Structure 1
């Protein structure tokens, strides 16, 4: 497994395209000046040993050396040893509403992006708990199984969008049913399902499904994202708002936060409802709720020892620089003797 220690140095790679543009402009400028000085045939006679190929090769070698040095600064590390670590925590599954109503902008920047911010902050406050992610709209599907890899969880989270599920609606009942498959019923670990939604246009008998989940030891926390005043649902193309969703009468549809539904779901499972408009309050209440739950020890296998690999890239950069130093721009004598292009040796 690879780990990048200093990812910020990847920005140095932007120097490479800048140098390529500069080199292309310089090459064009030199060609123009040479044409003003003499014809191509005359230039060949004036500098018969000059290679047209080697200057570009030297420049390419220099760019490869620069890229190798940048990667060396990043210092990629390779996991070399797996170790079983005993952790203590709880299992948390996040069920995230990705229906079109989550694009409403009654909370900034919109409901879905606000949801991502909330989940990211909650994850940042966790220590050794296991987490999973479910996405749902008119149906639910698994996004990330239970894991302790918070980095992967954040990556999957940021990739979520309202085009992931073709069927629209808010099938909270399906999300709850799928969450039950994430948890091991025989495992004594405390189980928490966090549902983040605007609660609108929900499908199915959610309260009954929530009670069934509670019987399996799953506590449900619901987080409402949106406002009672609500907002229109933007219809976007290429990330640009083209219009707003309208009903059959041509009136603009206003989507509003349904706190009652979300509160009922939480109450049915002896959980808690949290208004999600203020991130700090959400993380505080989540922390308080999770602290009151019993934590269970479990074994987790992960890479425990990483070895730096920067020396390979640094060595490659040094070799490339040495090649660049000893590679002259004039034609190589033994290649010239091969007469690859059948040039007349007696040509004057």
Structure 2
């Protein structure tokens, strides 16, 4: 099984390659425009270029540039550090099926809790994983829609790696749709298994779809899901930082007023009560982890067998080596035509 430790580098690499490609295209267009201004007659212009660079090979130049772009992307794959599990074994475990649903809407950037809501949520998930023993876990992220990050697994190492890539830029459409997260969580659990199903919802409780709590709770109850709601935010709230170059800028409404995002305690509390779960709103992470652990401890555990990979080994060196080999090949390809090809 292969996992990627730093998935963000795959996206960054794609963006870098795209930008360089656009620069190449723009530079080529500028060259043609400049030559056209210097010599409007196309035939004379071609003759002039032939005299200046008689052995110039456009095909070789295109190939060299393509190889450079390919090498750059392989280097970014190396930075992402793919890992391969080298051992697969069957292990007997006892526990519950647990899915983390992390709110990644922009309101989670609010800094009313340190360092901000999204980082606090990720820390809670990471430390909860450290306390688990035999439970199976999955990860969902959601904003205006929900997206699966990690299916149910006993591989906590894989869960931690996927957790690192969770951020508020994951979803192109913004908002908060708790119902979508509940529906997606329902697909994570084995319908034929009798394992207890728990969803840990880490959110500020703002539901921009304005779906009634009774509908959300009914959906969870039909799937036999108990929900632990973890408050990430405060009732006093705070402004939502906006990215980009303008640091210190905050999201504003249509009238130019700074938007204040506040914890919707009532929604989270009612949702937990309606699904036989618990609502957690504690001042520190340790108390939150303790409350989660206490709740899970009193649930009936189910024995099951699972196959899991172990001994994950870094593979980044292979991709860096491939990038180096590609650059060597690019260096060996001449920009000019070889004389025997010219003949």
Q: TM-score, normalised by structure 2?
A: 0.64
Alpha-carbon separation, structure 1, partners of 2:182 and 2:205: 14
Q: Are the counterparts in 2 of residues 214 and 270 from structure 1 also a CA contact under 8 Å?
A: no
Residues 251 and 2 of structure 1: is their aligned pair in 2 closer, same or farther, counting only changes over 3 Å?
closer
> 2:241 aligns to what?
234
Q: How does 1:67-216 map to 2 (within 5 A)?
A: 79=86, 82-203=88-209, 204-216=211-223
For residue 274 of structure 1, what is the aligned residue in structure 2? Answer: 280
Q: List alignment gaps of at least 5 residues for structure 2.
A: 4-82, 314-343
- Can you list the C-alpha shifts for 1:108-150, whole angstroms capped at 9, x where unaligned? 1100001011111111100111100110011111111001111
SS of residue paired to 1:219: strand
Shift of 1:78: 7.6
How far apart are the structure 2 equivalents of 1:159 and 1:118? 15
CA deviation after TM superposition for structure 1 residue 303, in Å: 4.7
Could you list the per-position Cα deviations for residues 182-234 of structure 1 after superposition, in whole angstroms to 9, with x for gaps in the alignment?
01122001110010000124422342232232233210110011111111001
Structure-2 change in CA distance of 1:234 and 1:117 (3 Å): same
Q: CA deviation at 1:151?
A: 1.1
Distance 2:220 2:247 in 1: 39
Equivalence for 1:328: none
Runs of 4+ in 1 over 6 A off after TM superposition: none
SS in 1 for 2:243: strand
Distance across 2 between alignment mates of 1:190 and 1:111: 28
Contact 2:85 2:309 in 1 (8 A): no
Task: Tell me: CA distance 1:198–1:87, structure 2 relative to 1, closer, same or farther (3 Å).
Answer: same
Counting only pairs closer than 5 Å after superposition, residues 56-71 of structure 1 correspond to structure 2 as none
How far apart are the structure 2 equivalents of 1:202 and 1:77? 40
- C-alpha deviation, 1:158, in angstroms: 1.4
Deviation at 1:302, TM superposition (A): 2.8
1:157, CA displacement in angstroms? 1.0
Offset of 1:90 from its aligned partner? 0.7
Residue 223 in structure 1 maps to residue 216 in structure 2: no
Matched-pair contact (CA < 8 Å) for 1:94–1:132: yes
Task: Return the alpha-carbon distance in structure 1 between the equivalents of residues 120 and 233 of structure 2.
Answer: 9
> What residue is the counterpart of 1:261 in the other structure?
267
Residue correspondences, number: 234
Alpha-carbon distance in 2 for matches of 1:78, 1:149: 11
Q: Who is 2:308 aligned against?
A: 302
Query: Cα distance 1:148–1:78, how it changes in 2: closer, same or farther (>3 A)?
Result: closer
Query: Structure 1-normalised TM-score?
Result: 0.63
Local SS of the residue matching 2:258? coil
For residue 186 of structure 1, give the secondary structure of its aligned residue in structure 2: coil
Q: Helix, strand or coil: the match of 1:247? A: coil
Given that residues 226 and 277 in structure 1 are in contact (C-alpha distance below 8 angstroms), is that contact kept between their aligned partners in structure 2?
no
CA RMSD in angstroms comes to 2.5
